[in-house]
């Protein structure tokens, strides 16, 4: 257990509304990640962070923004949710050294 929590765990929202997902870790790891997973696909990287206020884009970053104002929290924001953003979102952290990642339980987001 890497001490990762995600909130909310489930959310249903309407198209066009803003949505923020939170990832919280308890162990001060430097690297944090947001992935999405859709049926028939592996996980795809949205954004990641390598320190407070240091973030970068992943493979599928369009329509998403992130913020990391303190080590333990990494926020993913959908400024105006679309149905194509219906997905399961996973947060992960990386320990130092050999790049191992540990994943949170996921947030299931449905945009109607």
Partner 1 sequence: DAKTTQPPSMDCAEGRAANLPCNHSTISGNEYVYWYRQIHSQGPQYIIHGLKNNETNEMASLIITEDRKSSTLILPHATLRDTAVYYCIVTGTYKYIFGTGTRLKVLA
The only residue of 20, 45, 67, 86 in contact with partner 1, by rule CB under 8 A: 45
Is the CA virtual torsion 75, 55, 42, 84 positive or negative? positive
Six-digit token string for 16 = 């066009």
CB of 106 to partner 1, least distance (A): 6
Six-digit token string for 10 = 């489930």
CB of 66 to partner 1, least distance (A): 15
Distance separating alpha carbons of residues 21 and 98, to the nearest angstrom: 27
Give the binding site for partner 1 (CB under 8 A): 31, 35, 40-45, 48, 50, 58-59, 88, 90, 92, 94, 98-106
């Amino acid at each position: 257990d890497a001490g990762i929590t995600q909130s909310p765990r489930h959310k249903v929202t309407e198209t066009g509304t803003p949505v923020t997902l939170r990832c919280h870790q308890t162990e001060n790891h430097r690297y944090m990640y947001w992935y999405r997973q859709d049926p028939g696909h592996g996980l795809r990287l949205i954004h990641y962070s390598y320190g407070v206020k240091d973030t970068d884009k992943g493979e599928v970053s369009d329509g998403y923004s992130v913020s990391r104002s303190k080590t333990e929290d990494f926020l993913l924001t959908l400024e105006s949710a679309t149905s194509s953003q219906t997905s399961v979102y996973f947060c992960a952290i990386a320990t130092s050294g050999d790049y191992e990642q540990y994943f949170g339980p996921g947030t299931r987001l449905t945009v109607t």
